[in-house]
């Protein structure tokens, strides 16, 4: 092949390669441009959708604060499309989850404006324990506007307060002691919605320094067996006239025979709030103490000790009993019962301590 022909072939090859690169570059640029355009369109569509979502949902109120001891609250309304607000209390379980329906609520708070809104919440239904205080904004009826999530505060009640000192009855037969928590004590715990644990301790000496046996029981399960007759009036913690083994005769000092004050006495067996122990023969001094379940509330004072004597015999139908100094038999209407707050001489009642709340967060 001569030199001129070779040069011609080389020039053709170079020209063909250059055209291919140019076409490839143009195609790549066009594809990239289309991708950018599509991304921009998607972003614009998402932004528009987000904007529509924001327009379809109320803005949540801000700066929500409350005094847990007076119930005074305030917040800033941020959306004049809001129809109304509610401030509501929800009790929390041990895992911090809201339980059931709200226990207290503000009246309907009028919306339709922005700025600071204030009010006072009734705290009379707020018992000891943990709560969420929820501020919720609601859209006007008949609109498609969505409600925002509630603004939440966490409040603890019973902070720094002392559990009521328990009273008890102890029945003994042979080598067995049956401890019964006073029904009025249980009612006062139930009223605060704070059922503590109860520690029973047996000592071998009157000074209560030589511990023989200690047992802690949880009183919370008693709430599952609690009856009220009629509903909400008389608290009944469990009794029977047919199932023993030991039948206690309660006395009603206000009654003169059968009268409007109820029967003068009634014989029955305690159920549910009775705790049985067997020990070696000997004399023992028994106390009870309510124990807190959190770091906010304080243990009760220890009950006055009661002296009991056990033998080495098996329990029999006959028994003896002794009570702490402030024990009170259940009232005797149609059936034995008790009510919260009816024994003002008790030690460290929640009523005398008042409300003590703290914001937690």
The pLDDT score that the predictor gives to residue 250 is 94
- The predicted structure's pLDDT at residue 3: 44
**CATH number belonging to the domain at 62-157, selected among 3.30.450, 2.60.40, 3.30.420, 1.10.3470:** 2.60.40
Looking at residue 259, what is its pLDDT? 53
User: Which tokens sit at 61?
Assistant: 């109120």
pLDDT of residue 27: 45
Q: What is the mean pLDDT of each run of 10 residues along the chain (361 residues)?
A: 42 42 44 49 48 75 97 97 97 88 95 97 88 97 95 95 97 98 96 94 98 98 92 88 92 63 82 97 98 95 98 96 97 89 93 90 74
CA distance 57 to 157: 34
pLDDT of residue 24: 41
Domain segments of the chain as ranges: 62-157, 168-351
The tokens describing 332, both together, are: 């005797």
| Mode of pairing for the β-strands spanning 168-173 and 109-110 | unpaired
Nearest CA among 15, 313, 35, 44 for reference residue 176: 313
Q: Is the pTM here over 0.85, yes or no?
A: no
Spatial separation of the C-alpha atoms in residues 185 and 328, rounded to whole Å: 9
């Amino acid at each position: 092949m001569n030199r001129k022909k070779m040069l011609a072939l080389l020039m053709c090859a170079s020209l063909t390669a250059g055209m291919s690169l140019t076409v490839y570059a143009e195609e790549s640029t066009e594809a990239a441009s289309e991708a950018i355009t599509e991304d921009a369109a998607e972003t614009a569509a998402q932004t528009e959708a987000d904007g529509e979502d924001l327009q379809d949902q109320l803005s949540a109120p801000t700066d929500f604060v409350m005094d847990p001891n007076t119930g005074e609250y305030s917040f800033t309304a941020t959306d004049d499309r809001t129809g109304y607000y509610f401030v509501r209390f929800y009790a929390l379980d041990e895992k911090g989850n809201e339980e059931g329906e709200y226990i207290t609520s503000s009246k309907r708070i009028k919306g339709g404006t922005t700025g600071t809104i204030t009010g006072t919440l009734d705290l009379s239904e707020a018992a000891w324990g943990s709560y969420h205080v929820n501020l919720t904004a609601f859209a006007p009826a008949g609109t498609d506007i969505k409600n925002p999530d509630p603004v939440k505060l966490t409040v603890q009640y019973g902070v720094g307060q002392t559990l009521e000192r328990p009273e008890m009855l102890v029945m003994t037969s042979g080598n067995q002691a049956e401890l019964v928590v006073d029904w009025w004590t249980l009612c006062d715990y139930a009223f605060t919605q704070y059922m503590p644990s109860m520690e029973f301790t047996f000592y071998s000496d009157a000074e209560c320094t030589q511990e023989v046996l200690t047992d802690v029981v949880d009183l919370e399960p008693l709430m599952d067996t609690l009856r009220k007759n009629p509903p909400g009036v008389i608290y009944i913690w469990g009794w029977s006239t047919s199932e023993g083994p030991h039948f206690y005769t309660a006395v009603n000092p206000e009654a003169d025979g059968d009268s409007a004050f109820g029967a003068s006495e009634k014989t029955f067996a305690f159920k549910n709030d009775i705790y049985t122990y067997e020990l070696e023969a000997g004399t023992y001094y028994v106390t009870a103490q309510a124990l807190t379940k959190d770091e906010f509330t304080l243990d009760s004072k220890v009950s006055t000790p009661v002296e009991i004597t056990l033998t080495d015999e098996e329990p029999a139908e006959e028994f003896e009993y002794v009570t702490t100094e402030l024990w009170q038999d259940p009232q005797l209407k149609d059936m034995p019962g008790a009510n919260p707050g009816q024994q003002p001489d008790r030690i460290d009642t929640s009523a005398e301590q008042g409300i003590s709340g703290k914001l937690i967060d």
